[in-house]
Amino acid sequence: MQSPSPVSCDRTTSSGAEPYPIAAEPSELRTAAPVPGAEAGTAVEGRSPIADPNEHLPVDPKLPLKGAAPGRVARFARETLKAAATLLILALAVLAALVIWESYVTAPWTRDGSVRVQVAGIAPQVSGQITEVRVVDNQYVHQGDVLYVIDPFDFQVALDTGKAQLRQKAADLQVKQLEAERRQHLSDLATTPEEQQLYAGNATQARAAFDAAQQQLAQADINLKRTQVRSPVNGYVTNLLMRVGDYAHAGATNISVIDADSYWIDGYFEETKMAHICIGDRAEAALMGYRDPIIGRVQTVTRGISVSNATPSTQGLPNVDPVYTWVRLAQRVPVRIKITDVPPGIPLVSGMTATVTIRSAEAQERGGWLRQRFASLLDRLDDIVHAPRPSPGCVPRIGDDNGATVILPTPKPVAPLDPEEINPGLAPGIAKSPLAP
């Protein structure tokens, strides 16, 4: 039996060791230089050359590398885009931080606003039982309308008594004046100086009693009119709890009327935002639950708020708090907004919450809403860099404001009357001299 030939053994070993021979790339096969005698050796051995994965085939330097330049350009473009995106994100982050700082720290707006109103607490000026109530709760009343009536019987009696006493005092004054005048025309034989002085004094006393009776009558008359309690303002009756039969005490408030002409809005702004608030600036107050804002103007700025350190101690010395924290909260200053326009359908109720925003006069003259917002943002960013600069004349100096006051008309005492007007022709000819023809 013959042993296998070396050639056959080599072929068997080669096929078994490398069942998946690695084929060379066509480009490498084309560029590789043929080695003389290699084909002969391969033909003698009867096997194909095996490419070594760790061995690099020689490359012809005269041939250009495909894809080298485009890859470097793409890689440079990607790096540039990454850097640009990073800078853009950083710029947007800085801008967002500045906008948030401007919106929450320096912009003149606040969510801490409320609707305010004046309330007239009405108290009767005379005491008595309530016999009639002419209003109901939440009813609108005009100035001068009767709200309720107090029993007028006692006051009518006092008025009639005063009239009777006035007639009596007037008659007494008339007689005594005429007697005094008559004594002044008599001769020394019919009267004496002492008697003349006595009658003149009696006439003066009668005049004083007559004047006092007139004032008492005027008091009785005004007390009778005060039994009809009237509204001093135009507004709404609120929280009405009285009923017929209650006893009204003089000076004790028993009915309240909201003054419909006195509504205003208080905005409590942080002190860091006060540099951007000027008297006369446009103000917008958005109530919770309503879309359209209430339009107004900045009317006044409160000139004082409570300070706890100013509270005197038991000895009258200032009581200063020894605690001082690193984080200091900004104080809130009340700013009064005068209402100029209320959108239809929005009821004004005292105590409602409002978000108040102040629009400067310069921002109003800059065009549309977007332009106004952009200009306002630029101004606020400038304030962040250079600190806020208040405009001169924004808030009047202390002592420049003249507050307007409302005076309620009060009754005045009646002018003194002439007794002859009350009792005409009581004593005709009493002053005539008996010596006269």
CA–CA gap between residue 275 and residue 296 (Å, rounded)? 19
pLDDT range class, residue 143, cuts 50, 70, 90: very high
Whether residue 344 is predicted with pLDDT greater than 60 in this model: the reply is yes
* pLDDT score for 31: 45
Whether residue 68 is predicted with pLDDT greater than 90 in this model: the reply is no
Q: Among 53-57, 86-90, 204-208, 301-305, name the one with the lowest average pLDDT.
A: 53-57
Helix segments in 319-413, DSSP class H: 361-364, 369-386
- Indicate the average pLDDT of the chain: 79
Q: Are the beta carbons of 348 and 117 closer than 8 angstroms?
A: yes
Mean pLDDT throughout 113-142? 96
Q: Are the beta carbons of 129 and 245 closer than 8 angstroms?
A: yes
The predicted-structure confidence for 374-397, as pLDDT tens digits, reads as follows 666 676 666 666 666 666 667 665
Q: Among 196-205, 244-253, 403-412, name the one with the lowest average pLDDT.
A: 403-412
Whether residue 437 is predicted with pLDDT greater than 90 in this model: the reply is no
Domain boundaries 263-305+328-386, CATH class: mainly beta
Whether residue 358 is predicted with pLDDT greater than 50 in this model: the reply is yes
The predicted-structure confidence for 6-65, as pLDDT tens digits, reads as follows 444 444 444 444 444 444 444 444 444 444 444 444 444 444 455 555 555 455 555 555
Q: Are the beta carbons of 189 and 165 closer than 8 angstroms?
A: no
* pLDDT higher at 33 or 75: 75
The CATH-assigned architecture of domain 119-256 is Beta Barrel (2.40)
Q: What is the DSSP pairing of strand 235-238 with strand 247-248?
A: unpaired
How many Cα atoms occupy the beta-carbon half-sphere of 215 within 13 Å? 6
* pLDDT score for 313: 80
CA–CA gap between residue 178 and residue 117 (Å, rounded)? 62
* pLDDT score for 60: 53
* pLDDT score for 408: 66
Q: Are the beta carbons of 390 and 275 closer than 8 angstroms?
A: yes
* pLDDT score for 312: 82
